[in-house]
Amino acid sequence: MLRASYDIDNDEIALECRMLAVACGRLGLRAGEVTHLHEEWIDWNDGTIQIPSYWNCTKGSGDEVCGYCRNRARDNLDSHNLTEEEATDAIVAHYDDATLESMTDDELLAEAQELREEVNVTLEAMLEKRWSPKTSTSARGIPFDFSARIELIVEQFFDRFDAYEKSFATVHRRIDRLADCAGIESNVYPHALRATSASFHASRDISVHALMSIMGWADPGTARVYIQSNDEKAAHEIRSKHR
């Protein structure tokens, strides 16, 4: 896919595609991370991309948050906020049977509503936290200077742009275009490229904790899956044992 980016006639789109190929497919950035990628995240002295725990998103119209951030905020709102039924269940679980028997239905509902007012947040409050990475461990430093080619592409991209200026949807369209140029018929999407990055690093015999750090994972089990099931690493080990 990286080679295919050089066949794209439009230089600007070609550079965007090239950056996406290395950012997702070699450096393991998530789609939301690359959508908000900014030169201020780049530590040129250290050769790393520093994914922040918070970044003020102004990619939407009128410097508002972008559509991706708005959708994620709504998702978080649905998962965070209590419904009336959930709040009532929480109150019921909190009190003993004797207390519950002494309460009227109106009193129970009033306590449930009070709990909802205490716990629930508004969409506006959620939007104030955007953009933020998927998990706390996703805020991380990702080295890009382990490859001269990758380092050059990162430098070329930020020589031309201050940030990845396009939308989350455009990230997907650019990757679709790369796949078409490369003659790949199967569905290619950012998360699949991120998995390719994990497999690439795992094949280089890095430790579980190093892979967790690069990919922003909290669970060592996720990293072990890639390390233990990597075909390239297994083939290399078998060949080395039979020489």
Q: Which two tokens stand for residue 58?
A: 């102004």
Which residues on neighbouring strands pair with residue 48, listed in sequence order? 43, 143
Up-side HSE of residue 90: CA atoms within 13 Å toward CB? 15
Q: How far is CA 205 from CA 68, 100, 210, in A?
A: 35, 59, 10
Instruction: Pick out the chain residues at pLDDT < 50.
Output: none
Domain locations in the chain as residue ranges: 3-55+132-241, 63-127
Question: What would the pLDDT profile of 134-164 be if each residue is shown by its tens digit?
Answer: 989 999 999 999 999 999 999 999 999 999 9
Q: How far is CA 2 from CA 6, 23, 109, 150, in A?
A: 8, 11, 59, 10
Question: Among candidates 214, 63, 206, which has minimal Cα distance to 137?
Answer: 214
Up-side HSE of residue 136: CA atoms within 13 Å toward CB? 2
Rg (CA), the chain: 23
Question: Among candidates 13, 53, 32, 46, which has minimal Cα distance to 174?
Answer: 13
Q: What integer pLDDT is reported at residue 164 of this predicted model?
A: 96
Span 3-55+132-241: which CATH code? 1.10.443.10
Distance CA 217, CA 213 (A): 7
Whole-prediction pTM: 0.83
Q: What integer pLDDT is reported at residue 232 of this predicted model?
A: 63
